[in-house]
Structure formats: C-alpha cells, structure tokens
Structure 1
C-alpha cells in the first residue's frame, strides 16, 4: 500500500511474499514517473553483494572506472550489457525486478544494461540533471518505453549524494541534452522552468530499497562530501517491442532468462564474468568500448 499522497509513491515488499504491482502502484508510477519499493532486496542479499565489492579480489571492482562530473568530482562506475550468471546477474534477472519492470513499462522487457554507481565518502562526484532517454535516444531507440531500478547498497539521502527527482517530469517528453564533463546533461533552461511548476523530491533509500523510474524522469545527485559512502546498483530495461534500429554499445533485444527470487541468495558465484560484456569509457569520444569475452 502506498504512503500518504503528499509523500513519494512508496510501497513495501513483505519477506517471503511474492511482490506484485498493484493498480495503485501502476497509477502512481504513471503519474509521478517513479515508485519506491522498500525492502526490494533483503539485508542478507545486499550484505553479500556489498561484501564481495569490498573484497580485494572482487571481479566486479576490477572492471570499475571513473568519470568526471565537470565540476571537479569523479564517480566510480562498473557497467555491463548482459546480466550474466553470477550473483549480480541474478539480481537483475529475478522475478521481483523483471516482473515489476514489465508491468510498469507495459510489456515484455529485456536487459539493456546494469551499472553500479560508487560514490566514495568525501570525493564522490555529482550527476547533472538529465533524463536517461535524453541520451539513450541517440542509440536508435524510437520510444521512451524504458525503465530502470536503482537499488541502494548503502543508505542514501541528499547528505551523501542521493538521488533527487522531479515528480511528473517524464510527461515533458525528451529534453535536449549536451555534454557536461563526461556526462550528458539536460537543457538547464527547461530544468529551471520545470522546477517552478513541479515538485523536486529527495529519494531517501535504506540499503535494499529499490526505486523504479521512467526513462524520461528528470533526476540528479550532488557530490558526496560527507563521511558516508553511497553505492548503488542500477539495472535498466527496454521494452521488447522497442529494440534499437541500429547497433550501438548497449545490448539489442536478447530474451531475458528470468529466475525465481530465491535464485539470488541461492547463487554463490561471484567470479564468473563471461558474457556480461563490460564497458570502459573511450576518453577521446566519451563512448563506451565493449569488453567482449
């Protein structure tokens, strides 16, 4: 059940109970452009991912890189196209994520890419105001029938560089974007006008909470100057009937092999990276160069 209407649209997953999108959640998502699900992943599930990332032998962290925010800050990232069969892949393939994205997006979805955004204490960079479809559009995708889910690995709020969104801004359609540092940023004139008539919302998440959001939702996050780290796992999905008309550096339609929710904790594989198709930035063009292994 959603919280009071004056608050962000928020829902709760009960342990041991299959999560499903209610009519209320669908309406709130359609109206606001986002919905929060508390306890999307359990403490044990997040703890296992966090422990692996903190390990000096983490295969995922070996593939991390940093991007500039254009204002002296840097964000460490890990990005891959296909979910894979390791623990991080099970998170992006499990029923509670895939089924929720399919219902909110209105049809079958496939995995577009997953990234981890790792903002370290004191030094973590900002993300400029942007829409994901503001630059995904350039990859040959005709419609904004795309959705992402951000899962908090650490507690997140504005103090440690948590996400801020503009409620209902997905209804504006795609805004022109330009380059800011190594990021894509939305036309600030449009952003400023949107903020005059729409509500800016701080997305405060506890570890394990998930934010499902539309690809045209305006969002940003500030630099992390606090002593608290802010790590997040973000999986992005495209509708199966909205495949790109051209090849690009993210995946085109590939049927998604969905797994039961129990497959997350049931997976002990943190080392198999085959087939995930990791990316690294090309500093000369800001595009991504795929690591195909």
Structure 2
C-alpha cells in the first residue's frame, strides 16, 4: 500500500516500475445480502466465487428489437460520428463504441433505471449506485477487433481515481453470442487477485487505449498464471441475455472473423460510497463521458 500525494491511501498500486506483483484483493466481491434485491442466495454465492453471473432473457425479444434499432440509429448518425464519445475501429474506421449512451439515448437512459437492472446493481454493491460509465459496443462481422486481457478496475483506479473495486458491469447482448464471434471471455475467480501493470500512463492515454490498449495490460506471465489457476469461461447466449461481472475480473475478447456481428449495451454501476478521487496513476482524470464524476444516485 502507498500514500498518494493527496494523502489518500492507495490500496491497489499499479502502473509500477520494475516487476509487477499480483496480490490478493482486500475487498469483497458481493457487498449486499440475500433479501436486499432480486438476486437469490445461490446466485449471489456463485457471483462471489466466480466474479460473474448470467441472467438469461433479461430483455424480451420485442425489447431487444427496440434497442437494436436504437443502436442502428446511433451508429448511422453522421453528426454524432464527429463527437469524441464515438470511438472507431483503428483499421476500418467503423464505429466501435459510443460512450455516455444513457445521456445520448432516452431509451437507454430509461434502461439504467429499470428495476431489473438497478435493483440487481444495488444488491451486489450493497448501496445506492450511480453510472460510472455507459456505452454501446459494436463488433461487426469479418472486421470486428477484440480486446486484450485486462481488468477494468485497474484502469478505472489508475486513470479515473476509483478507490476500490466496488463496481459492477452489466453487458446486455443485443445479438446472439456464439463461441466463435468474439464473445467475452472471463477468468472465473480472478477478481480476487489484483494484477499490477507496468509502465507510466501517458497523457490522454484514453485516446488510443479505447481503440487498442497498450498501457494497463497484464504481462503474458501473469495472464498465463491466472488462466492456469482459474480457467477461462466464455459468455454465450441468445440476444436479451445479460452478463454481470465484477470490475476486477480478468477478461478479454478475440477478433470476430465470422459473418455474425456482436453488439451489446454496457452499463457500469459504482457505489456512491466509492466515489472517484484524483487518479492514482495519471496526471489528470479521463473525460466525464468515460469516467463520470457525477455521483448522484440513480433513481427510478
């Protein structure tokens, strides 16, 4: 543990010089209890052990169609393409992600407040929550590029100033996820290990890292060790299913060379008791559309 210049204790130091040393997480994965929300005791226990759980059929087929049409509308908005919140593929220039989408789309803004989602986030984190980040992800057929292994919390801690891994992500599939079209891979139980990364954070690192991350990625040695200890699961399922996963779980995705596109809505909830401070390993915070500093609790 180290003490930042601000006097705030850094329990998860990263972006180090020299060798990285993974260490045990000191915080729980599940902060709430059975009876605090819609998640039953068995599912909570599974989420605590694995760092993730899947909800089949979270959205109905009609809802999936409505949100899919919204994604098509957003990706086809020529004015929006000039917005910094729109991230394009490094090689093809196609839309890869649109950030802060719950503010750009009234439909997705309502989804954030949906009890099926909000109440589950509150229960897992054991508190009121706010939206740390939202986005829609597009992985087109044939040309969709994946993302190397990483822990979201490592980046959110280093570059956004998130003190502890008291955040949870919800990835809602709007297309069928097959084993072969670039579906998300997770290492079950890896959320219990914090993997330090090596190297100083460049200024405005987000401008390149959102297309291809180079700083804030674990070493091949550490990935190999975690995989040997935890194994690798892959999120597959029909459109409308949702993957809930801990902010510190090691995850990544491969390229999509199949004809089948893969798209999802990605919502990150952080506990209001875990509000951001100054970045732990960057000169300044990333923009608000990537790491919100509005800690107002989400209400229905």
TM-score w.r.t. length of structure 1: 0.74
Distance 1:73 1:197 in 2: 38
Change (3 A) 1:76 1:258: same
Query: What is the CA distance between 1:109 and its match in structure 2?
Result: 1.3
Aligned to 1:148: 169
Query: What is the CA distance between 1:165 and its match in structure 2?
Result: 0.5
Aligned to 1:65: 87
**For residues 107-118 of structure 1, what are the structure 2 equivalents within 5 Å?**
107-118=127-138
What is the count of residue pairs matched by the alignment?
239
Aligned to 2:244: 212
Structure 1 or 2: more strand by fraction: 1
Moved more, 164-173 or 60-69: 60-69
Change (3 A) 1:37 1:27: same
Aligned to 2:235: 203
Aligned alpha-carbon RMSD (Å): 2.6
Query: What is the CA distance between 1:110 and its match in structure 2?
Result: 0.7
Distance 2:156 2:256 in 1: 26
Distance 1:74 1:223 in 2: 14
Q: CA offsets per residue over residues 10-49 of structure 1, 9 Å max, x none? A: xxxxxxxxx8111111111111000000011111111001
Aligned to 2:70: 52
1:21 and 2:39 correspond = yes
1:226 and 2:258 correspond = yes
TM-score w.r.t. length of structure 2: 0.72
Q: Which 5+ residue runs of structure 2 have no aligned equivalent? A: 1-36, 200-207, 279-284
Change (3 A) 1:53 1:73: closer
1:86 and 2:116 correspond = no
Contact 1:145-1:238 within 8 A present in 2 as well: yes
Query: What is the CA distance between 1:173 and its match in structure 2?
Result: 2.0
Query: What is the CA distance between 1:65 and its match in structure 2?
Result: 2.5
Change (3 A) 1:160 1:194: same
Aligned to 2:150: 130
Contact 1:131-1:175 within 8 A present in 2 as well: no
Contact 1:151-1:233 within 8 A present in 2 as well: yes
Change (3 A) 1:224 1:110: same
Contact 1:81-1:111 within 8 A present in 2 as well: no
Distance 2:254 2:223 in 1: 16
Change (3 A) 1:61 1:257: farther
Contact 2:102-2:135 within 8 A present in 1 as well: no
Aligned to 1:255: 296
Aligned to 1:275: none
Moved more, 58-67 or 41-50: 58-67
Contact 1:82-1:111 within 8 A present in 2 as well: no
Query: What is the CA distance between 1:176 and its match in structure 2?
Result: 1.7
Q: Which has the higher contact order (CA 8 A, sep 6+)?
A: 2
Query: What is the CA distance between 1:75 and its match in structure 2?
Result: 6.8
Q: CA offsets per residue over residues 169-201 of structure 1, 9 Å max, x none? A: 001124326687632422221110111121210
Query: What is the CA distance between 1:94 and its match in structure 2?
Result: 1.1
Aligned to 1:119: 139
Query: What is the CA distance between 1:255 and its match in structure 2?
Result: 1.9
Contact 1:83-1:111 within 8 A present in 2 as well: no
